[in-house]
Amino acid sequence: MAKKQKKQTGGTPATVALTTAGVPFTVHSYDHDPASPSYGEEAAQALGVSPDRVFKTLVADVDGELTVAVVPVAGQLDLKALATAVGGKRAAMADPALAERTTGYVRGGISPLGQRKRLRTVLDASASAHATICVSAGRRGLEVELAPQALTTLTTAVLAPIGRA
């Protein structure tokens, strides 16, 4: 299990945002396999971290407004719960090309941090059960580990039960 851990002061918009905010974080990199069927599960396995501590960033359309959902890779996003969490009626997964253009990241590397356009964000409530969680650092094969409270503060996220097993 080859992994690198280091503090990073530059790099992706996500790590730059963390550095600028003075938030403690650790960058974990691994060799991404383009044939991997799940980016998040690949990250958890490559880093030797429990899949309930590795969170995937998904972009959904809630009543016409793009919204970021951050949920454990071990489960799925509950679209109805996401809509409810932001006071909406209907949610659907966003068009991947629109999600990429809006966030400035590629699919499989979308980070909840440092997005081109700041989107409304909801973090699954299960994150608060962990001292630290991992989210994409802005590209495939790169994760950032930080306290869930720091992620909530930096993204002004709502904490709600939006994941399901």
pLDDT tier, 8 (very low <50, low <70, confident <90, very high otherwise): very low
- How is residue 104 annotated by DSSP? S
12 near 144, Cβ under 8 Å?
Answer: no
Given a contact cutoff of 8 angstroms between Cβ atoms, the answer to whether 144 and 113 are in contact is: yes
Q: Name the residue among 24, 26, 98 with its Cα closest to residue 60.
A: 98
Under DSSP, the state recorded for 94 is P
119 residue type, one letter? L
* Model pTM score: 0.90
Q: Which of 1-15, 55-69, 111-125 has the lowest mean pLDDT?
A: 1-15
Q: How far apart are CA 163 and CA 113, in angstroms?
A: 20
Per residue in 53-90, pLDDT (tens digit) is 999 999 999 999 999 999 999 999 999 999 999 999 99
Q: Report the pLDDT value the prediction gives residue 75, as an integer from 0 to 100.
A: 92
